């Protein structure tokens, strides 16, 4: 670097201050130079915060069009889902800390009401529609208002929860589900409080 003379230094300072303080006039800049301290101004453009877009899931119509929840006919066989039932039984045993003869029935009932029922074997014991009574099978899908059940005859039955009573048996414990009071999605039941006693009319 070559040393600059006083004139060159003054010209550089003037040019630097003018670029650093574009809103000030030359007279104001010269006035600032006579002071001991120079406060440089910096103007920055405010950046707009971009809102993060939450990923949108599929709509109910899109899910129907894509047939996401439909079980193919060749997969509608009872034997295919027996291992699922065995997994479900182990899941319930773990949930209830082991089903022993001295286990309190109301404790098992309260756990079952909030448990995931996919894989459970249920039977329709009471119904306002006689054609539903006696249907037994493994629950493949649970929706807010219906169960989809595969029977031993390899038939997929869609049974509404409304006006139906279902029985569920595991290791000698029999629990009854009143579908009219059970119209919730499986994911919503864990936070729901159920009354274990009371009369329910079909």
Does residue 169 sit in helix, strand or coil? Answer: strand
Q: State the pLDDT at residue 1.
A: 47
Residue 145 is assigned to a structural domain of this protein: yes
Task: State the total domains in the chain.
Answer: 1
Q: With a cut of 60, say whether residue 2 has pLDDT above it.
A: no
Residue 200 is assigned to a structural domain of this protein: no
Q: State the pLDDT at residue 31.
A: 72
| Residue 168 CB contacts under 8 Å (≥ 6 apart), including other chains | 112, 117, 120, 121, 122, 123, 174, 175, 176, 177
Q: Which of 184, 192, 188, 101 is nearest to 147 (CA)?
A: 184
Q: State the pLDDT at residue 114.
A: 83
What CATH number does residue 152 fall under?
Answer: 2.30.30.210
Does residue 91 sit in helix, strand or coil? Answer: helix
Q: What is the pLDDT of residues 142-200, one digit of tens each?
A: 988 999 999 999 999 999 999 999 999 888 888 888 888 888 877 777 777 666 554 45
CA distance 194 to 188: 12
Question: Rounded mean pLDDT of 9-17?
Answer: 74
Residue 144 is assigned to a structural domain of this protein: yes
What's this model's pTM, rounded to 2 decimal places?
0.64
Q: Are 68 and 58 in contact (CB under 8 A)?
A: yes
Question: Rounded mean pLDDT of 80-102?
Answer: 87
Q: With a cut of 70, say whether residue 5 has pLDDT above it.
A: no
Residue 55 is assigned to a structural domain of this protein: no
């Amino acid at each position: 670097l070559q040393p600059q003379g006083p004139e060159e230094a003054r010209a550089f300072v003037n040019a630097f201050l003018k670029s650093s303080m574009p809103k000030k006039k030359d007279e104001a800049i010269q006035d600032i130079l006579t002071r001991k301290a120079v406060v440089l101004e910096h103007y920055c453009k405010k950046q707009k915060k971009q809102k993060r877009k939450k990923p949108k899931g599929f709509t109910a119509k899109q899910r129907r069009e894509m047939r996401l929840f439909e079980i193919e006919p060749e997969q509608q066989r009872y034997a295919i889902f027996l291992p699922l039932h065995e997994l479900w039984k182990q899941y319930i045993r773990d949930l209830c800390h082991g089903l022993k003869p001295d286990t309190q029935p109301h404790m098992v009932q309260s756990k079952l009401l909030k448990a995931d029922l996919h894989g459970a074997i249920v039977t329709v014991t009471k119904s306002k529609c006689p054609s539903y009574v006696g249907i037994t099978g493994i629950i493949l899908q649970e929706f807010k208002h219906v169960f989809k059940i595969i029977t031993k005859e390899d038939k997929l039955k869609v049974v509404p929860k409304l006006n139906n009573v279902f029985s569920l048996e595991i290791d000698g414990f029999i629990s009854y589900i009143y579908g009219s009071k059970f119209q919730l999605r499986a994911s919503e039941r864990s936070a729901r409080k159920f009354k274990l006693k009371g009369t329910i009319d079909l």
